[in-house]
Structure 1
Amino acid sequence: MVAGHSVYTSSNCGKVDKEDSWFLESYQKHPGQASSFVTHIQEGVEIVAKDNEALLLFSGGETRKDAGPRSEAQSYWTVAESEGWFGKEESVRRRAMTEEHARDSFENLLFSVCRFRELTGSYPRNITVVSYDFKEERFKQLHRSAIGFPESRFFYSGTPGSSTSKEAALRGEAMVRSQFQEDPFGCLGSLRRKKLGRDPFHRTIPYPNGCPEIKGLFQYCDPAPYPGALPWG
């Protein structure tokens, strides 16, 4: 799963590594930011190309009002397409799909698991997440633990962010991580408000349709671990 971070807005796919080709929030407007998105996309393609049984999911909803009703997931798929799947089109393109509703990192993971079940009829045996290196603890410890996925089958591929924004990114990550520590399912307070703000087009989330076995996980909202049975437990 490649977690989306922005929406591609350029009509010219020859500019995928240029900041003005993406809709960037103020904290993202740094040299090298666009290239970091492309690196994530390529990393996802490279990982899936090595495993003929793997599925590549680009995850991220229509999160930016001023970018229009374009999803982060479709943006990443479009960039991969424009780049010829980085030389791996024959082996990867047919196995590259989108999850177009996630509004934060926890939903990137949970919704992608459901989308995988919807597409294949089963749940993933292994999960590999591609995102920034400084988000590894958030995904591997907090989000993975919240959905009860076995640590031995969960992998993370982190890439560096823009060097000019590293200190600010680390400060922001520390704050978000502490919020998820208190609210693992992102369903209360500031995390809930953030998600609502990232749904400017008021999309109806289809899940848990497609993954009925984990309906309880979608409905759960408590600081304590989810007490129900899970398909991968």
Structure 2
Amino acid sequence: MQSMLEGQHMEVPRMNDFQRGETPTFVSHVKAGLDALAADNCGILIFSGGATKKSRTSLSEGQSYLVGKIRLPRSNNLAKENNFYQDQTADSTIDPTKIIVEEYATDSYQNLLFSLLRFRSHVGAYPRRVTVVTHAFKRERFLECHFPAVGLVPQTGTSPVESNDNATVIGINPPPDISPLESLRREGLVYGKKDLYGVAEDLSSKRAKRGWVPETRADLIASSGCDEVVAQLVCWDGGTGNQWFPRIEELPWYYGRSKNSH
């Protein structure tokens, strides 16, 4: 099982407007990921996110979960210095070697896809199940856009999908007075459905502003040792429009494959 935390920098003065005041929420995300890892002997926890604020810090979003300087006591090494948020009176049940970082992603689709590749580079195989820990207002975006786009769940059409054995979302929102949750939910879902792979002008320009360089894909593919069909997905440009990846059923984690064939 792979648990993936969608990265956000947790250094409070450097947050985007909608992230201000969310430090306790990000800590809750970390705890939820650690709980999922502790409950699965075969699990890997991936903190995902690239260095999207290079003008302010070279620290990646993924690394910020482990070594970020959030303004909390004993937080220079957030998860480790807090005993992985396990019972402080007992030894931690968390194996630190099962917590890794993905440092390329610049948006939620890339968080998902690049974490699948990071799992592959660390384990030598692809995960059979994926759990994403993120804001609850992004749940529909993952279930109806990102999961279907990479073949973890069926393509949705007009009917929303629910979590299944292959992919699920743990959603934890900040208090409603901190973020405009409903408008963020609607906006993200609209953009996700219009541009499944984030390659059209609006979303690709956001990636560029966050430091994404398309040439990075070659390094990502090489470092992961991924299959040829997965490499094609990483480079998929939407075809002649907002088209599904044509070889989606060949992907090694495709939901229609028998678990025994993984």
TM-score range, shorter chain: 0.7 to 0.9
Instruction: Find the structure with the greater CA-based Rg.
Output: 2
Matched, 1:159 2:178: no
Residue equivalent to 2:161:
none
Q: Is residue 6–residue 47 contact of structure 2 (8 Å, CA) maintained in 1?
A: yes
1:191: Cα distance to partner? 0.3
1:122: Cα distance to partner? 0.6
Structure number with higher helix proportion: 1
1:169: Cα distance to partner? 2.8
Distance 2:176 2:185 in 1: 15
* Alpha-carbon spacing, 1:202–1:155, altered in 2? closer, same or farther (3 Å): closer
Per the normalisation by structure 1, the TM-score is 0.87
1:202: Cα distance to partner? 9.6
Q: Is residue 146–residue 196 contact of structure 2 (8 Å, CA) maintained in 1?
A: yes
For structure 2, the 5+ residue unaligned runs are 68-77, 154-163, 255-262
* Alpha-carbon spacing, 1:179–1:201, altered in 2? closer, same or farther (3 Å): closer
1:145: Cα distance to partner? 0.3
Per the normalisation by structure 2, the TM-score is 0.78
Residue equivalent to 2:158:
none
Does the residue aligned with 1:156 lie in a helix, a strand or coil?
A: strand
* Alpha-carbon spacing, 1:37–1:62, altered in 2? closer, same or farther (3 Å): same
Residue equivalent to 2:64:
75
Matched, 1:183 2:205: no
Residue equivalent to 2:231:
215
Residue equivalent to 1:104:
107
* Alpha-carbon spacing, 1:126–1:173, altered in 2? closer, same or farther (3 Å): same
Residue equivalent to 1:231:
252
Distance 1:200 1:189 in 2: 14
| RMSD, aligned CA | 2.0
Q: Is residue 84–residue 94 contact of structure 2 (8 Å, CA) maintained in 1?
A: no
Distance 2:251 2:184 in 1: 32
Greater displacement, 208-217 / 99-108:
208-217
2:45 aligns with one of 49, 52, 56: 56
Distance 1:81 1:57 in 2: 14
Q: Is residue 10–residue 23 contact of structure 2 (8 Å, CA) maintained in 1?
A: no
Q: Which amino acid aligns with 2:61?
A: E
Q: Is residue 107–residue 207 contact of structure 2 (8 Å, CA) maintained in 1?
A: yes
For structure 1, the 5+ residue unaligned runs are 9-18
2:15 aligns with one of 24, 38, 51: 24
Residue equivalent to 1:11:
none
